[in-house]
Amino acid sequence: MTNISARLVYISLITLICCELALGQSPLIDFSEDSLRHRYEELIKELRCPKCQNQNLADSNSPISVDLRRQIHRLLEEGKSDEEIKDYLVARYSKFILYRPLLDYSTWFLWVAPFILIACAFTAAFIMQRKYNASCGDLEFESLQISKKENDRLTRLLSSKDHKF
């Protein structure tokens, strides 16, 4: 019995220590000010990993993203502004590193294309609606009037029991 109790105590202690280590981890990167941590987290969410392409620096574990996170930390500690850090990284890795591209001569189509497509869709819908209304106007009730002779024939055909047309 004591052997089982001792094992249970050891397993409980190991579990408790592991939980404490998992829950009580301090952040991997220490900052001199808490405001730098917030800026750091925002920057690594806004910048793209050059290797992973569809992941930001916060989500990527590639060696280049680890290096970039260290560089961002160093630049923040040096007192650089967010714009200076972005400019530095754009100069080194091109505009591709920005998740939200700036509006300039090379990216204007990215920003304007959705509005052009919406305008084209509304124009097409408007033209189709006008054509539909024009074709419905041709089939109005007044244009479908039949003569008295045709009306009598129609009545006879519909009233006959054989319905042979």
Question: Which amino acid type is present at position 54?
Answer: N
Question: Which amino acid type is present at position 13?
Answer: L
- In whole angstroms, give the CA distance from residue 31 to residue 138: 76
For residue 71, being part of any structural domain is answered with yes
Task: Give me the number of domains the chain comprises.
Answer: 2
Same-domain check for residues 93 and 119? no
Report pLDDT for 32. 78
Same-domain check for residues 83 and 59? yes
Phi, psi of 102 (to 5 degrees): -75, 155
Same-domain check for residues 113 and 139? yes
Of the residues 68, 97, 126, the one at which a domain ends: 97
User: Which CATH number goes with the domain that contains 61?
Assistant: 1.10.8.640
Of the residues 74, 97, 120, the one at which a domain ends: 97
pLDDT in tens, the chain (165 residues): 566 777 777 787 787 676 555 554 434 677 778 888 889 999 998 888 888 878 888 888 888 888 999 999 999 999 889 899 999 988 998 888 887 777 777 778 888 899 999 999 999 999 999 888 877 765 555 556 788 898 888 888 888 766 565
Same-domain check for residues 118 and 90? no
For residue 82, being part of any structural domain is answered with yes
Domain assignment of residue 119, given as a range = 108-159
Q: What is the value of pTM for the model shown?
A: 0.53
For residue 4, being part of any structural domain is answered with no
Phi, psi of 90 (to 5 degrees): -65, -40
For residue 5, being part of any structural domain is answered with no
For residue 6, being part of any structural domain is answered with no
For residue 11, being part of any structural domain is answered with no
- In whole angstroms, give the CA distance from residue 107 to residue 84: 21
Report pLDDT for 26. 39
Of the residues 62, 97, 132, the one at which a domain ends: 97
For residue 102, being part of any structural domain is answered with no
| Residues 72/44, Cβ–Cβ less than 8 Å | yes
